[in-house]
Amino acid sequence: MKELDVFIHGETMNLCIPTEEFARESEWYSWFNKPGVTRFLEQGMFPNTPEDQVAFFNSQKKDRIMTIISNKKKYIGIISLSNIKLVKQTCEVAIVVDTSLDRKMAPYISLEAMARISEHAFSMGINRIEAGQHIKLKGWQQRMELLGYKLEGLHKKKFTKGHEVADSVTLACHFEDFQNIISHRGALWDSKDKMESRCRQLPRESFSDMINNFFENERNNYYSKIFSLDHK
């Protein structure tokens, strides 16, 4: 199998351009058969095959910017921009990484991949990048905050997979927040050492914890009163 061309070069990883050959012959399909990878994804209910991956690639390659994440030794995940609407200047971002392939570096590789693809989106004229996630991915959500992503929504019982029903969150990065970070840092990703230091300084209580606590208390009390109102 031919080595993939690099689309964006990075410090801890490269973002590479997938091909139909890669979809057919690589381990790309197998990531979605691993419970550890799909634990917080809606995928994983049905087995994935190379043929499925080829069909997905061919159906999405014209509308989605797909890049394969390489740790510069092997391919370990994918990050993509989808629902790209240049008129509205919006898009969505999603990432899947098989952390078992590089456990030590996976958190930083994922974070740099998100930084690099976000910078690329803004270079296209995008003003708002949205991401949706399972609420239990709080550590990842906080690390994304270092790149300008803010929590914009808490969705009660939106995630459903088998017998699991859980909350999910929406994060978004806006161009003005991106510019603010750039003015201080020079780039979303300035170095692994500096990002690692920032990760250690993140607050123990995440913003999603704060919002969830508010929902469970003030929101429930408020709507309990609203729903019990009687006419006068």
Residue 226, in any domain of the structure: no
Residue 184, in any domain of the structure: yes
Q: How many domains does the chain have?
A: 1
| Domain ranges, residue 211 | 6-218
Each residue of 45-55: pLDDT tens digit? Answer: 999 999 999 99
Residue 190, in any domain of the structure: yes
- Is residue 210 classed as helix, strand or coil in its secondary structure? helix
Task: For residue 160, give the CATH number of its domain.
Answer: 3.40.630.30
Q: What's this model's pTM, rounded to 2 decimal places?
A: 0.94
**pLDDT of the residue at 31:** 97
Give me the residues of the chain with pLDDT under 70, please: none
Give all strands (DSSP E) within the chain, no chain letters.
6-9, 14-16, 65-70, 75-85, 90-97, 128-134, 150-161, 164-174
